[in-house]
Amino acid sequence: MNDIDAWVWWLVAAAALGIPLVVTAMPEFGMFAVGAVAAAVASGLGADLVFQVLVFVIVSVALIAVVGPIAARHRSQQPQLATGVDALRGRQAVVLERVDGSGGRIKLAGEVWSARALDTGRAFEPGEEVDVVEIDGATAVIM
């Protein structure tokens, strides 16, 4: 180990921790890799081994404690802007031609759509306002 400086070993450890980060997509490995880079910097500045390990542990734990909850909160959030057919779910439409379980026509977001009733025993007459439950291909499912 005397032939290779300690900072090189810390960078090797950081790279080794980056591999499971990519393979498993677990951000904790990335935080450990950043801790190893911080320890490499401490080593490059001439710190002894005990201080390098302390820097690794403190930086890694701090990142997990601070960044971990923030990342988890962002992963659990739904997208703010719905686009495409996702933006049409939950919107109101007006029946143009009678809609029942087998089909009909509605006006949704300024366009004419084919539609069918979610409840196959229910029928909607022209002029009624309905709610779009889902989009099934090119057909709006309403209730």
What pTM was computed for the model?
0.52
Least confident range of 49-53, 58-62, 67-71, 129-133 = 67-71
- In angstroms, the CA 131 to CA 98 distance is 15
pLDDT averaged over every residue in the chain: 90
Strand pairing of 111-117 and 129-136? unpaired
Strands 139-142 and 111-117: parallel
58 is written with which tokens? 């403190």
Q: Which of 30-39, 43-52, 82-91, 102-111 has the lowest mean pLDDT?
A: 82-91
Distance CA 118, CA 41 (A): 63
pLDDT of residue 3: 54
**Locate tokens 């997208």: which residue?**
79
| 4 half-sphere exposure, CB direction, 13 A CA radius | 8
| Nearest Cα to Cα of residue 138 among 100, 112, 99, 119 | 112
* Per-residue pLDDT tens digits for 59-103: 999 999 998 888 888 877 776 777 888 888 989 999 999 999 999
